[in-house]
Structure 1
């Protein structure tokens, strides 16, 4: 019994991680199931994004919710600069003067990173989107309502009646 518990403890995380690094599969249209919004882990940006699952032949990198995707694929202590770009140093508080010129201190869980200011500003703008007409579509997460941000408009994650707006790294719905 003890060895079975050890196998489950050590094999299960490995199985989750392999699914997280798999390519996104949209599935196939079928008569048994309707298409629905699911979530996948994008290893390039190291974050979970929505996509339209077509109904059948689901891939291993597919989750029912953003929260489940993040719990399965992104370590809680993992942090990166905007666009998953490399940090240029470590800092300990916003406005830390230890960061080089052209970088800002962006706080992670316990320590901050010196991130390229231009890239970080662009990233923050994409993650606080605005619409020229109408409102940004929001969805509910465990901490409250937040903008529905996807990786690419081709993933058809926006609800019917909304319009997808593509950015440099991500897309949002208006």
Structure 2
């Protein structure tokens, strides 16, 4: 009887030892482990993998997800600092990268000052500036002309680009505790966001979780060109032929033989028909067996495309096929 009573009291004591907090009040779909203070433990193992989460709300830093439950994830120092702040009941938290748990390069002290830090360590690398001031914490040093793609050949157009980081080469990264995943990079040769298998760590900033994220970062909203940036037909003055259908048809110029009119938001370009046909075949491939693998991009199903089958971007059981410009997956 005494032993049973002792066991009940022990169980009650353990239950009371866990304070009420974000973790105990609102559990996500997966049962997360809580600290004695009621917050989320930074390392959580769910199903067949482990991952790091924000201790305040349990938001997963999805880039830390491991390949199995036997591998511990590498959690960012920012999440670890938050644990210390919570333990000390502090009122200022560092701003963390929600994907990796590392520090955001730009940190701000409430509404007053901002400064740049090393994302790995959180160490401050410049002096504070007023929050209303311009601050550039980018690790890259770019010139004004770096936001323009300047081809090294004579058949492509020089074109504006959303960010200089989009000109960085594709970087597969290195193997680490984080599980490999499919990412997207901006390919300047085709001016397209293409899939590749990212090894888990390292690489560069030309690395996006989704195709739409890549597009919004690298392609200007009103940008328009012939496929593959192929130069459009010019008139005798060396200017673009505008074949856009105007209300006054007399102002519409016709395309020369071998070219077709491709309409954009505000203009029409005379594009090489053979080049357009090749790219059309690459953008909308067919499979001898099965169907092309598609992914959702902003609610629209798009064919999953990579630059090369060597990029290993196809899902399991899918077969990769290479065409002239892109590779696609059949399943």
Please, what TM-score do these two structures have when normalized by structure 1? 0.88
1:109 paired residue number: 265
- Give the SS at the match of 2:134: helix
For the residue of structure 2 that corresponds to 1:60, the secondary structure is: coil
Q: By how many angstroms is 1:97 displaced?
A: 5.9
- Count of matched residue positions in the alignment of Structure 1 and Structure 2: 170
**Which of 65, 69, 74 is equivalent to 2:210?**
65
- 1:18-65 CA-to-partner distances (Å, cap 9, x unmatched) read 2111111000111x2010000101111111111100011131110111
Asked whether the equivalents of residues 83 and 169 of structure 1 are also in contact (C-alpha less than 8 Å), the reply is no
**What is aligned with 2:173?**
27
Is 1:7 aligned to residue 134 of structure 2? yes
Quick check: 1:90 aligned with 2:242?
yes
Farther off after superposition, 82-91 or 122-131: 82-91
1:115 and 1:103 mapped to 2: Cα distance?
Answer: 5
Tell me the distance in 1 between the aligned counterparts of 2:192 and 2:137.
23
Distance 2:328 2:192 in 1: 15
C-alpha change, 1:72 and 1:6, in structure 2 (3 Å) is farther
Instruction: Please state how far the C-alpha of 1:107 moved relative to its aligned partner.
Output: 1.5
Q: Which residue of 2 is the match for residue 128 of structure 1?
A: 284
Q: Which has the higher strand share?
A: 1
Measure the CA separation in 2 of the matches of 1:5 and 1:40: 32
What is the CA-CA distance between 1:82 and the residue it aligns to? 1.6
State the 4+ residue runs in structure 1 displaced beyond 3 angstroms: 1-6
Q: CA deviation at 1:109?
A: 2.1
SS in 2 for 1:124: helix
Matches within 5 A, 1:42-57: 42-57=187-202
| 2:164 aligned residue (18, 39, 45) | 18
Partner Cα separation in structure 2 for residue 64 and residue 85 of structure 1: 28
CA distance in 2, matches of 1:6, 1:46: 33
Structure ID, larger Rg: 2
Compute the RMSD of aligned alpha carbons: 2.4
Question: Are the equivalent residues in 1 in contact too, given 2:306–2:327 (CA < 8 A)?
Answer: yes
1:112 is displaced (CA, Å) by 1.5
1:52-108 Cα deviation digits (max 9, x unpaired) = 000111311101111111111111111121222111132113xx7611111000112
What is the TM-score of this pair, normalised by structure 2?
0.48
Does 1 or 2 have the higher relative contact order (CA < 8 Å, sep 6+)?
Answer: 1
